[in-house]
Amino acid sequence: MYDDTAINVNVTREKEETQNMILPESKSDALFFLKALTEESAAGTWKNPEGVSYDDHTNNIALHVEFRDTKKGNIRTAIFVALNLINLLHVNEQILYTRMEK
């Protein structure tokens, strides 16, 4: 995600974006490595209509990550893939709430 000419990574970034995620507070440490991160407390109010799981009154954390992306959205794609892998391997949320904003 970060440019470092010492390891021959040089990306031309042209647009600002924000990645927003909601995670249970107890699982937010899985994303400790993210830079430019803002955390806010968020109470869960979601109820699954099929009764599979509930998020009612869960202590959640809203995470907002700001980054600059390329014209083609390469950084956004890399973040999306990384978050999916982290969810599958560590966080294990049935639904990972995430949204990109420009």
| pLDDT tens-digit map of 30-61 | 887 777 678 888 877 767 677 666 666 778 88
Range of the structural domain that residue 79 is part of = 12-101
Q: Using CA atoms, how far apart are residues 36 and 66, in angstroms rounded to an integer?
A: 6
Does residue 25 form part of some domain? Answer: yes
- pLDDT (0 to 100) of residue 10: 63
Contact indicator for 15, 93 with CB cutoff of 8 Å: no
Q: Is the pTM of this model over 0.85?
A: no
What is the number of domains present in the chain? 1
Local confidence band at 85 (pLDDT 50, 70, 90 cut-offs): very high
How many other C-beta atoms lie within 10 A of the C-beta of residue 85? 11
CATH number of domain containing 55: 3.30.70
